[in-house]
Amino acid sequence: MITSVLVANRGEIACRVFRTCGELGIRTVAVHSDADANARHQRVADMAVRLPGAAPSETYLRADLVVQAAIASGADAVHPGYGFLSENPDFARAVLDAGLIWVGPPPEAIEAMASKTRAKELMGLAPLREVAQGDLPVLVKASAGGGGRGMRIVRRLEELDAALEGARTEAASAFGDGEVFVEPYIEDGRHVEVQILADTHGTVWTLGTRDCSLQRRHQKVIEEAPAPGLNPELTATLYETATRAARAVAYTGAGTVEFLVTGDQAHFLEMNTRLQVEHPVTEAIHGIDLVALQIRIAEGHALETPDPPHARGHAVEARLYAEDPASGWTPQTGTLHHLAVPPSVRLDTGYDDGDEIGVHYDPMLAKAVAHAPTRADAIRKLAGALERTTIHGPTTNRDLLVRSLRHKEFTTARMDTGFYTRHLPELTTTDPDPHAPLAAALADTQGRSRFGGWRNLPSQPQTKRYAMAGEEHEATYRHTRVGLSAEGVRVVHADARLVVLEVDGVRRKFEIARYGDQVHVNATTLTALPRFPDPTAQHAPGSLLAPMPGTVIRVADGLTEGAAVQAGEPLLWLEAMKMEHKITAPATGTLTALHAVPGQQVAVGALLAVVQPA
């Protein structure tokens, strides 16, 4: 019987495993890098062991250090979570060789399926050995890992070499394995997967289907179970293929078999030999705890029945990321001051209020899951909960999620993996509240005034300036004998935290929170601007500034000051949050300054280069 579990992971998945362990009466052990020294997952664990360093390659990808941590802490089992070492057969062997219980499939099964090239060969498929014009488009894909890292779409042959190099570099950094392969890229299919669970006594459960078609950069954003609109014959084929894959490698534990579905045809993609990020939607409709079942299987117990429990209702999950979808999905960093989601939905998160969102790891803040009797009910429930969610901190994809869930193509189950390629501009169109600057100004006035805003005589108009949705806005108001007034509205109430305005006979409440110059007014974020802008805080036209803190990993071959560049031409690459970000020339012209060098750590807003337009 397992009494203590070390989770060889971080963030949300570590916290989620710890929650189940706590319910089962199992002690918990966390490992953490120096960047995660105050992370939530190590705070909620019973014990924590430091892994010196910050980069994944120095910490969470060091199998030897993780095994040493398990032994030192007295853990008798290791749960790998997802990502990092979760699909590394050598790590699984090291855990078993140390006399510990491995909460996962046998190393041989991981080895057979964790490499996508070997998995395809096992399923009778093969990657492309040579690429010709007629094969395009193709997908360059990392053999190990997932989450969209180490993947590139190639539409022109001359782009292939650069795509291979970029995918290898990113895969090696994220997974410690730079092997990549090439396969045909099927555009606009649906990403459908089957959850399996197998014990050591020969029972294999297929726990329904999931649809994960809404993706950005090959990484899932919204998932649901069951996958809508599949005919019974196709569903049966998916179940049979998933079961065959599990039995082919004597699989045990939780795993997922993924497919690309076009029409009534299913194309095998891969088998993930671990728990998936989206496992909560399966748990919701089947009324089970997959982590608890993983632990029971690792202890040698058999699944209680030959067949899985019946599914009930529908579940939808949305991943809340600290990123800006309107700016190329750029990851965001900073302090998460406050996150509050209505209790009507399940929330899995690795953050508490006041935690820092750093540059080293994936920018996912949380997963929100809604379960309801029907798909329409689940979608409405989740969209409404996200709309009422309070997020004070960096920019997130929350508004994108709400709009995606309410988009007709999604509500009618006609979505595919090209959803964001087609609809991103309309989904990221800014619609800021026009009264937010006034509410912010009134709250700021009350918060800074010791005796309130009452005056015996009317005052001159007061103004405050804010940046909102990339534009400057000015709020004008007056102090009067009876309080505050503003043109076109009636100020019903104003204090530092709450402003109530009456507009055309309708009263509206504005909840205000301020952190430095950042002001949150309901769901709108503003930046308070100084009365007199600093004339030195300007950059020359054509300046390329770092969109996020990160590491310069590459500069374009032969790029030197004085070189001619074309608009959109890649000049250098940053690595942040395990993803590679391309910095391109903003215009056709001459590179007049190059400040970035490979290996350099840069802060957000750092000057990387200057291109003088032609």
For residues 49 and 29, what is the distance between their CA atoms, to the nearest angstrom? Answer: 8
Residue of 328 and 127 predicted with greater confidence: 328
Alpha helices per DSSP H over 361-418: 375-387, 398-406, 408-411
Whether 416 and 446 share a structural domain: no
Would residue 373 count as lying in a domain? yes
Q: Is residue 340 within 8 Å of residue 363, measured between CB atoms?
A: no
Tell whether the model's pLDDT for residue 541 goes beyond 80.
no
Would residue 360 count as lying in a domain? yes
Q: Is the peptide bond before 137 cis (omega within 30 degrees of 0)?
A: yes
Q: Three-class SS of residue 503?
A: strand
Q: Is residue 277 within 8 Å of residue 251, measured between CB atoms?
A: no
pTM: 0.85
Would residue 535 count as lying in a domain? no
Domain that holds residue 401: 190-427
Would residue 536 count as lying in a domain? no
Whether 296 and 402 share a structural domain: yes
245-279 pLDDT per residue, tens: 999 999 999 999 999 999 888 988 889 999 999 99
Average pLDDT over residues 197-214: 98
Residue 386 CB partners (closer than 8 Å, separation 6+): 318, 320, 341, 368, 398, 401, 402, 405
Tell whether the model's pLDDT for residue 519 goes beyond 80.
yes
* Pairing relationship of beta strands 253-262 and 334-336 according to DSSP bridges: unpaired
Q: Among 141, 163, 184, which residue terminates a domain?
A: 184
Helix axis angle for 375-387 and 398-406, nearest 10°, is: 150
**Half-sphere exposure at residue 198, Cβ-oriented, CA atoms within 13 angstroms:** 25
Q: What angle do CA 583, 519, 542 make, to 5 degrees?
A: 25
* Pairing relationship of beta strands 265-272 and 180-184 according to DSSP bridges: unpaired
Count structural domains, the chain.
5
For residues 27 and 5, what is the distance between their CA atoms, to the nearest angstrom? Answer: 6
Average pLDDT over residues 181-210: 93
- How far out from the chain centre does Cα 245 lie? 28
Alpha helices per DSSP H over 195-323: 232-248, 279-286, 290-298
Q: What DSSP line would sit under 304-336, residue for residue?
A: SSSSPPPP-SEEEEEEEESEEGGGTTEE--EEE
Would residue 249 count as lying in a domain? yes
88-114 pLDDT per residue, tens: 999 999 999 999 999 999 999 999 987
Q: What DSSP line would sit under 70-122, residue for residue?
A: HHHHT-SEEE--SSTTTT-HHHHHHHHHTTPEESSS-HHHHHHHHSHHHHHHH
- Residue 344, exposed/middle/buried by CB under 10 A (0-12, 13-18, 19+)? middle
Whether 239 and 303 share a structural domain: yes
Q: Three-class SS of residue 357?
A: strand
Whether 362 and 249 share a structural domain: yes
Q: Three-class SS of residue 265?
A: strand
- AA identity, residue 531: R
The confidence band for 203, taking pLDDT boundaries of 50, 70 and 90, is very high
Q: Would you state the pLDDT for residue 53?
A: 95
Would residue 547 count as lying in a domain? yes
Helix axis angle for 107-114 and 89-97, nearest 10°, is: 170
Whether 170 and 139 share a structural domain: yes
53: left (phi over 0), alpha (psi -120 to 50) or beta: left
Q: Would you state the pLDDT for residue 528?
A: 92
DSSP 8-state assignment for residue 486 = B
- pLDDT, averaged across the chain: 91
Backbone angles phi, psi at 424, to 5 degrees: -55, -45
Q: Three-class SS of residue 564?
A: strand
Q: Would you state the pLDDT for residue 210?
A: 98
- Give the domain CATH number at 572: 2.40.50.100
Tell whether the model's pLDDT for residue 46 goes beyond 80.
yes
Least Cα distance to 442 among 371, 384, 490, 507 occurs for: 490
Whether 327 and 444 share a structural domain: no
Residue of 49 and 573 predicted with greater confidence: 49
* Pairing relationship of beta strands 253-262 and 190-198 according to DSSP bridges: antiparallel
Whether 297 and 321 share a structural domain: yes
- Give the domain CATH number at 315: 3.30.470.20
CA–CA distance from 229 to each of 75, 210, 285, 308, 494 (Å)? 45, 11, 17, 21, 51
CA–CA distance from 33 to each of 58, 94, 341, 418, 601 (Å)? 9, 20, 28, 36, 18
User: For residue 161, how many other CB atoms are within 10 A of its CB?
Assistant: 10
The confidence band for 37, taking pLDDT boundaries of 50, 70 and 90, is very high
Whether 163 and 219 share a structural domain: no
Q: Is residue 189 within 8 Å of residue 267, measured between CB atoms?
A: yes
Tokens of 193: 């997967």
Q: Would you state the pLDDT for residue 479?
A: 83
439-498 pLDDT per residue, tens: 999 999 887 654 444 455 556 788 999 999 878 899 999 887 667 888 889 999 999 999
Least Cα distance to 394 among 575, 220, 583, 577 occurs for: 577
Q: Would you state the pLDDT for residue 458?
A: 56
Whether 331 and 206 share a structural domain: yes
- Give the domain CATH number at 469: 3.30.700.40
Q: Among 377, 406, 427, which residue terminates a domain?
A: 427
6-26 pLDDT per residue, tens: 999 999 999 999 999 999 999
Whether 306 and 394 share a structural domain: yes
Q: Would you state the pLDDT for residue 451?
A: 46
- AA identity, residue 322: A
Whether 85 and 153 share a structural domain: no
Whether 520 and 578 share a structural domain: no
Would residue 533 count as lying in a domain? no
Tokens of 373: 């009797």
* Residue bearing tokens 């710890």: 18
For residues 380 and 316, what is the distance between their CA atoms, to the nearest angstrom? Answer: 10
In the sheet where 601-602 sits, what is the strand order?
579-584, 570-576, 550-555, 601-602
Q: What percent of the chain has pLDDT over 90?
A: 69
Tokens of 414: 């006609």
Would residue 120 count as lying in a domain? no
Q: Report, as residue numbers or ranges, the catalytic residues.
A: 274
Residue of 149 and 418 predicted with greater confidence: 418
- How far out from the chain centre does Cα 298 lie? 29
Tell whether the model's pLDDT for residue 339 goes beyond 70.
yes
For residues 8 and 103, what is the distance between their CA atoms, to the nearest angstrom? Answer: 11
- Give the domain CATH number at 31: 3.40.50.20
Q: Among 468, 500, 528, which residue terminates a domain?
A: 528
For residues 227 and 271, what is the distance between their CA atoms, to the nearest angstrom? Answer: 18
* Pairing relationship of beta strands 4-7 and 77-79 according to DSSP bridges: parallel
